């Protein structure tokens, strides 16, 4: 784990940057915020303590879009709010059709958000309607490639509050104006590869067809004056991002140096391009690779996401379930439908 001071981006829920250009959220108060349509709330499958305060949650909207709530802030991952029948462009000559509807119909139906965490600049993770509607001053943490794209002066309206993290770089998010005793979040970019190593990766680097991607380590906790990096961790979430099971992922346990991952959100689907009628190249994990990642990272709980929303996803949730059962790991997986929420406690919270 890192032992140097971490750059900081303070978040203040009392002075939120409006999410949308039309500033709709500017006029919301806590008594008039949109509430999420929660179908079912789930907790730890093995040792949930009903007396423990469950102060944090992950809400599954669809694809890789989730809403992380901790203390008084909310972080939105990979915002994609297209509906069944809508299309996305995924690369030269590659399009895909959405098969499902998100649990929340659009950005304007969300409660107020403090930050967007964007794994990569791909339309099934950051669709054009989302991009066109966002306030250009809203804070987004993402890859260096996505920052270059979003801030490009070739855009009619470049974004102006983008924070890029390369592999193993971190950003601390202290929560200001909060009464919860120094609450903070720390985000660290984790390795990931959307394209398998070899000649195809070399060709992709030249053509720029499939964008580079990050995974994320999201640590919930507090600022600290007694730790070398100024942060005290109470809960660790690893989000795989759109990666395959590549050698670079072996660096994650080394980086953790014995520290435990509490929750993993794994991107599955076996996404294959150009598509199901010509399945030439798999660019996200299928069920078998998802279980390989569970064995490598060894999280306490795994929640699969990004598994059936688009027609290029050829390895659905049933494939993962079969592999999980075969590996004897069923007791360490929580399955969320779109609109479900996973609640958990944060140590020291």
pLDDT one-digit tens code per residue, 226-235: 787 889 999 9
**Domain 13-344 sits in which CATH superfamily?**
Ribonuclease Z/Hydroxyacylglutathione hydrolase-like (3.60.15.10)
Pairing of strands 340-344, 40-42: parallel
Mean per-residue pLDDT, 256-271: 97
Residue 94: its pLDDT value, please? 80
Mean per-residue pLDDT, 255-263: 97
Q: Where are the beta strands (DSSP E) in the chain?
A: 40-42, 56-62, 65-70, 73-77, 87-91, 94-97, 115-117, 140-142, 162-164, 170-174, 183-190, 215-223, 231-239, 263-267, 269-275, 278-282, 301-305, 313-315, 340-344
Question: How high does pLDDT run on average in the chain?
Answer: 90
Contact 284, 312 (CB under 8 A): no
Residue 348: its pLDDT value, please? 82
Pairing of strands 140-142, 73-77: unpaired
Rounded distance, CA 131 to CA 147, Å? Answer: 13
Residues in Cβ contact with 9 at an 8 Å cutoff, skipping those fewer than 6 apart: 115, 139, 141, 163, 171, 172, 173
Mean per-residue pLDDT, 58-84: 97
Q: How far is CA 169 from CA 3, 186, 217, 247, in A?
A: 12, 11, 10, 19
Q: How far is CA 326 from CA 245, 266, 287, in A?
A: 19, 18, 11
More confident residue, 210 or 150: 150
Contact 339, 306 (CB under 8 A): no
Mean per-residue pLDDT, 83-111: 92
Mean per-residue pLDDT, 70-80: 96
Task: Please state at what angle helix 317-327 crosses helix 287-297, rounded to 10 degrees.
Answer: 50
More confident residue, 235 or 194: 235
pLDDT at 31 over 50: no
Residue 135: its pLDDT value, please? 97
Rounded distance, CA 118 to CA 74, Å? Answer: 14
Mean per-residue pLDDT, 79-107: 93
Rounded distance, CA 159 to CA 274, Å? Answer: 30
Contact 73, 113 (CB under 8 A): no
Residue 199: its pLDDT value, please? 60
Residue 108: its pLDDT value, please? 94
Residue 30: its pLDDT value, please? 45
pLDDT at 204 over 80: no
Confidence of residue 214 (pLDDT cuts 50, 70, 90): very high
Under DSSP, is residue 254 helix (H, G, I), strand (E, B) or coil? helix
* Tokens at 15, concatenated: 């002075």
Contact 20, 135 (CB under 8 A): yes
pLDDT at 120 over 60: yes
Tens of pLDDT, residues 319-340: 999 999 999 999 999 999 999 9
Residue 2: its pLDDT value, please? 46
Residue 4: its pLDDT value, please? 62
| pTM, two decimal places | 0.93
Mean per-residue pLDDT, 156-160: 96
Instruction: Give kind and range of the element (H or E) at residue 318.
Output: helix 317-327
Residue 270: its pLDDT value, please? 94
The CB density around residue 39, as the number of other CB atoms within 10 Å, is: 13
Highest mean pLDDT among 42-56, 175-189, 278-292, 333-347: 333-347
Contact 304, 266 (CB under 8 A): yes
Residues in Cβ contact with 154 at an 8 Å cutoff, skipping those fewer than 6 apart: none
Using CB atoms within 10 Å of the CB of residue 132, give its burial: 0 to 12 exposed, 13 to 18 middle, 19+ buried: exposed
Residue 225: its pLDDT value, please? 78
Mean per-residue pLDDT, 296-305: 98
Provide, rounded to the nearest whole percent, the portion of the chain with pLDDT above 90. 75
Q: Which region among 61-65, 92-96, 275-279, 340-344 has the lowest average model confidence (pLDDT)?
A: 275-279
pLDDT at 131 over 60: yes
């Amino acid at each position: 784990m890192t032992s140097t001071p971490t750059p900081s981006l303070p978040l203040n829920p009392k002075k939120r940057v409006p999410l949308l250009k039309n500033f709709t959220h500017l006029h919301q108060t806590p008594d008039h915020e949109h509430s999420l349509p929660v179908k079912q709330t789930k907790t730890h499958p093995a040792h949930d303590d009903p007396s423990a305060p469950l102060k944090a949650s992950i809400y599954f909207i669809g694809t890789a879009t989730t809403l992380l709530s901790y203390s008084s802030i909310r972080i939105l991952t990979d915002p994609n709010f297209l509906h069944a029948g809508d299309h996305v462009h995924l690369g030269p000559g590659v399009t895909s059709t959405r098969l499902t509807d998100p649990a929340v119909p659009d950005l304007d139906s969300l409660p107020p958000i403090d930050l967007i965490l964007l794994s990569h600049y791909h339309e099934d993770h950051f669709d054009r309607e989302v991009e066109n509607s966002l306030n250009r001053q809203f804070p987004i943490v993402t890859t260096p490639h996505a920052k270059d794209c979003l801030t490009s002066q070739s855009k009619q309206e470049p974004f102006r509050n983008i924070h890029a993290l390369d592999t193993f770089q971190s950003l601390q998010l202290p929560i200001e104006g909060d009464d919860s005793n120094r609450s903070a979040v720390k985000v660290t970019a984790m390795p990931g590869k959307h394209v398998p190593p070899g000649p195809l990766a070399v060709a992709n680097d030249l053509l720029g067809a499939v964008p580079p991607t990050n995974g994320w380590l999201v640590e919930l906790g507090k600022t600290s004056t007694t730790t070398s990096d100024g942060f005290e961790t109470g809960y660790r979430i690893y989000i795989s991002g759109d990666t395959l099971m590549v050698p670079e992922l072996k660096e994650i346990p080394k980086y953790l140096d014995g520290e435990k991952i509490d929750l993993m959100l794994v991107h599955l689907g076996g996404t294959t391009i150009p598509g199901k009628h010509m399945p030439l190249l798999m660019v996200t994990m299928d069920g078998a690779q998802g279980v390989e990642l569970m064995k490598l990272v060894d999280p306490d709980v795994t929640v699969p996401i990004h598994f059936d929303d688009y027609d290029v996803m050829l390895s659905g949730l049933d494939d993962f379930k079969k592999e999980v059962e075969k590996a004897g790991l069923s007791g360490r997986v929580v399955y969320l439908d779109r609109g479900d929420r996973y609640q958990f406690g944060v140590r020291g919270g």
